[in-house]
């Protein structure tokens, strides 16, 4: 973990970053279970990103922590103090929303100073701190503008400054980048991380964008149907997914038929190590990342090995390209450097190789499931 | 190569130019339609007013001009405050009281219902729009009993504000509802709450200031209703501006007075609404 366990306040003093505990949290909306006995601990100064598809409960988790909704069961503890029944106004949490949430009738400076004003901070001190926060997000020159006079990315920066101005114990970010275009999104993402590390505040970041979560977080929690499927550092979530859902949700996966024998799986003639060693011998589906598949060589038309196939599509992604190869009975995606992929054309015969990274297997070897996996 | 490029670009340029030309033609046609509609409706409203003005300025013989009908509005031979001045004063006070009660009653309630008890929104909408479906005469019959009792206490015409609040409710509600729909009430309130604001602060310092235009519209509608109201005041035997103007026109043999008083009432209302609207715009301009 790279974050500091100390929160730096604006007056230069340091205070201990806090631990946040969510224990057994449940929330129902009528018959729909939004959260199902969720347990999550945020270490002091840590940034945890909650990732998952729509309706998985990630925003509900954040709203329960913010006090904007009440949990049906469970407890929320911040710095050892139970705040489950404390109102949102008294929780001491800064929050940035998905929708633009600046108060339209106030200037940027007034927006940032709003929380300080409620805390009865004197005018001079309030203005000074508001400007310091705006400086932190690089917008001190826009202090006297109204929200409608600045861009969406700038509005979200101001919202971040406003949330941090009150020196909260916890920072909550509810998909703050989802309304922005790709370039601004990447810039602001890095800026949020820089500021979070600088301030050292415990942060919960909710997103449905896996790239965002993997890039920004100390740990990523992948959620499904109100439960945490895996909570681990980004590299581990990506390379050693705990479940097939995580493997498929975080990045693309090829679903290839294989056979487990003696603690390793054989996929189309390649022996690959397993993520989990206690898999019984038998037929399985192995989840292989596209970047673990490489181009071994060009093949003559007559070649018909298990990893020999025909290129059917090449998708340019920038530095890399995704090449889809038809192996006859299944299709495989390979992520190759664009320089290598550009030498190929649709219809080329190629021989693929699979890097022996640990793979996750599923006992489901039903051909229909394999086909569904290919479609996905 | 240059020739090839030019040839290949020509159709593209033409196809790009064609929609632009079509758009411009469509815009011109739309503008023409707007002007025609505006002129027709303008004349529809303006011609009767001009006819009224002309008739009120008619002299003793046909085709001559005179200010007699206008002078007779203000002519008063009795002692004390002229009834017209008194009725203007009462009507203006009624407008202020009705607007104030309406705002105090409706703005916090509507925000509260939107934020905290959304399930009540439909019921509230129904209740607020209900007065639209009740004819004024039915209201008078219903409220007559109450006002008859009030008159025993010799209360002034200012007590009419109760019934005017009911009458103005549908219009004020619609104006405020439009204002509430135009802002992201939930996100703004949650943002304010997370910064430590109480519900009162959320309503008064975050939501209400962003409804300024809607509040102004509600005020304009309420004030215009009060300034122009005749039926209920007349039937409940109270004297407001409209009732007084009606009395003046009834008590003079000059038919022109009927039109001069009506036009005077209309002009007064128009000027007052213009002042209110202008004041609101100036505030908004300062942001």
Architecture in CATH for domain A6-239: 3-Layer(aba) Sandwich (3.40)
Q: Considering only CA atoms, which of A40, A42, A41, A58 is closest in space to residue A196?
A: A42
In this prediction, residue B69 carries a pLDDT of 83
pLDDT at A62: 96
Q: What is chain A's Cα-based Rg?
A: 24
Contact (CB<8Å) B195/A101: no
The structural architecture, per CATH, of the domain A254-375 is: Beta Barrel (2.40)
Q: Quick one: how far is CA A24 from the chain centroid?
A: 22
CATH of B81-286, one of 3.90.870.10, 3.50.50.60, 3.20.20.70, 1.10.3720.10: 1.10.3720.10
SS3 call for A208: coil
Q: Is A318 on the interface with B (CB under 8 A)?
A: no
Domain boundaries, chain A: 6-239, 254-375
Confidence of residue B237 (pLDDT cuts 50, 70, 90): confident
* Exposed e or buried b per residue across A46-79, where buried means at least 16 C-beta atoms within 10 angstroms of its C-beta: bbbbbbbeeebbbbbbbbbbbbbbebeebebbbb
Q: Do A95 and B191 touch (CB under 8 A)?
A: yes
Of B81, B71, B77, the C-alpha closest to B261 is: B71
Report whether A15 contacts A6 (CB < 8 A).
yes
Give the number of other Cβ atoms within 10 Å of residue A27's Cβ. 22
Taking the C-alpha atoms of residue A370 and residue A368, their distance in angstroms, rounded to an integer, is: 5
Decide if A168 contacts A65 (C-beta within 8 A).
no
Asked if A79 and A17 touch (Cβ cutoff 8 Å), the reply is: no
CA distances from A220 to A87, A151, A237 (A): 28, 29, 7
Q: How many helices (H) and strands (E) does chain A have?
A: 10, 22
Q: Do B191 and A101 touch (CB under 8 A)?
A: yes
Q: Share the mean pLDDT of chain B.
A: 83
Structure tokens at B251: 């008590």
What are the tokens at A312? Answer: 């059917």
Cβ of A88 within 8 Å of Cβ of B198? The answer is no
The C-alpha atoms of residue A312 and residue A148 are separated, in whole angstroms, by 48
From the first residue on, what is the mean pLDDT of each consecutive set of 10 residues in chain A (376 residues)?
Answer: 53 75 94 93 95 92 95 94 94 92 95 94 92 90 94 92 92 91 86 89 93 92 94 90 85 86 88 84 88 80 78 90 90 91 86 88 55 41
B184 with A101: Cβ contact below 8 A: yes
A91/chain B closest Cα distance in angstroms: 8
Interatomic CA distance for residues A314 and A346, integer angstroms: 7
Give ∠ CA A95-A96-A99 in degrees, rounded to 5: 135
The ipTM is 0.79
Q: Is the pLDDT of residue B9 over 50?
A: no
Q: What is the mean pLDDT of residues B23-40?
A: 91
Q: Is A115 on the interface with B (CB under 8 A)?
A: yes
pLDDT at B241: 84
Residue reference for tokens 């015409």? B157
The more confident residue out of B228 and A372 is B228
Pick the more confident residue, B148 or A133.
A133
Q: Give the closest of B187, B194, B287 to A66, CB-based.
A: B194
**Integer CA distances (angstroms), A145 to A114, A141, A187, B207, B284, in order:** 15, 9, 22, 20, 15
pLDDT recorded at residue B152? 59
- pLDDT attached to residue B280: 66
Indicate the SS3 state at residue B50: helix
pLDDT digits (tens, 9 = 90+) for B71-116: 877 776 666 667 777 888 888 899 999 999 999 999 999 999 999 8
Task: Tell me the C-alpha distance between B23 and B94, whole Å.
Answer: 51
């Amino acid at each position: 973990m790279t974050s500091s366990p100390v929160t730096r306040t604006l007056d230069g003093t340091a205070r201990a970053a806090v631990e946040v505990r969510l224990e057994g949290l449940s929330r129902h909306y009528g018959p729909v279970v939004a959260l199902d006995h969720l347990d999550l601990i945020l270490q002091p100064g840590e940034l945890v990103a909650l990732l998952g598809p729509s309706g998985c409960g990630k925003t509900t988790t954040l709203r329960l922590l913010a006090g904007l909704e009440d949990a049906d069961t469970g407890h929320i503890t911040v710095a050892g103090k139970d705040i489950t029944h404390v109102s949102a106004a008294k929780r001491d949490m800064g929050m940035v929303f998905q929708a633009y949430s600046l108060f339209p009738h106030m200037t940027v400076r007034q927006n940032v100073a709003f929380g300080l004003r409620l805390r009865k901070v004197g005018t001079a001190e309030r203005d000074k701190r508001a400007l310091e926060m705006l400086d932190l997000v690089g917008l001190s020159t826009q202090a006297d503008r109204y929200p409608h006079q600045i861009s969406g990315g700038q509005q979200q920066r101001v919202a971040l400054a406003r949330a941090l101005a009150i020196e909260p114990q916890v920072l909550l970010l509810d998909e703050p980048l989802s309304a922005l275009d790709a370039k601004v999104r990447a810039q602001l993402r890095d800026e949020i991380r820089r500021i979070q590390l600088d301030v050292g505040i415990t942060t919960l970041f909710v997103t449905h964008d896996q790239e965002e979560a993997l890039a920004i977080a100390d740990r990523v929690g992948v959620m499904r149907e109100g439960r945490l499927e895996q909570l681990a550092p980004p590299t581990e979530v990506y390379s050693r997914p705990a479940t097939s859902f995580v493997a498929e949700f975080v990045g693309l996966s090829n679903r290839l038929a294989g056979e487990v024998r003696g603690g390793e799986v054989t996929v189309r003639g390649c022996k690959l190590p397993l993520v989990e060693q206690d898999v019984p011998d038998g037929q399985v589906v192995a989840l292989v990342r596209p970047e673990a598949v490489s181009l071994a060589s060009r093949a003559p038309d007559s070649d018909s090995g298990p990893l020999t196939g025909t290129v059917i599509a090449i998708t340019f992604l920038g530095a890399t390209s995704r090449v889809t190869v038809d192996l006859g009975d299944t299709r495989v995606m390979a992520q190759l450097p664009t320089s290598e992929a550009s030498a190929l054309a649709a219809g080329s015969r190629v021989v693929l190789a699979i890097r022996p990274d640990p793979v996750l297997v599923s006992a489901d070897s039903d051909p229909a499931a394999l086909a569904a996996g290919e479609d996905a | 190569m240059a020739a090839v490029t030019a040839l290949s670009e020509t159709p593209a340029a033409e196809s790009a130019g064609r929609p632009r030309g079509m758009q411009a033609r469509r815009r011109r046609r739309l503008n023409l339609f707007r002007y025609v509609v505006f002129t027709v409706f303008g004349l529809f409203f303006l011609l009767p007013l001009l006819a009224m003005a002309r008739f009120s300025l008619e002299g003793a013989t046909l085709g001559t001009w005179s200010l007699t009908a206008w002078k007779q509005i203000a002519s008063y031979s009795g002692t004390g405050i002229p009834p017209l001045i008194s009725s203007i004063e009462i009507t203006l006070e009624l407008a202020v009281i009705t607007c104030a009660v309406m705002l105090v009653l409706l703005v916090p309630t509507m925000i509260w219902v939107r934020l905290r008890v959304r399930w009540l929104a439909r019921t509230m909408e129904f209740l607020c729009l209900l007065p639209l479906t009740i004819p004024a005469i039915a209201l008078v019959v219903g409220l007559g009993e109450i006002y008859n009792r009030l008159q025993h206490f010799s209360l002034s015409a200012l007590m009419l504000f109760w019934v005017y609040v009911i009458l103005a409710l549908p219009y004020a509600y619609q104006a405020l509802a439009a204002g509430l729909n135009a802002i992201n009430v939930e996100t703004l309130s949650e943002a304010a709450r997370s910064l430590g604001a109480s519900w009162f602060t959320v309503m008064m310092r975050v939501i209400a200031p962003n409804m300024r235009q809607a509040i102004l519209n509600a005020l304009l509608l309420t004030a215009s209703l009060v300034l122009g109201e005749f039926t209920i005041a007349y039937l409940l035997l109270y004297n407001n501006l409209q009732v007084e103007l009606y009395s003046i026109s009834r008590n003079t043999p000059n038919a022109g007075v009927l039109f001069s008083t009506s036009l005077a009432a209309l002009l007064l209302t128009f000027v007052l609404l213009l002042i209110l609207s202008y004041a609101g715009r100036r505030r908004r301009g300062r942001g």
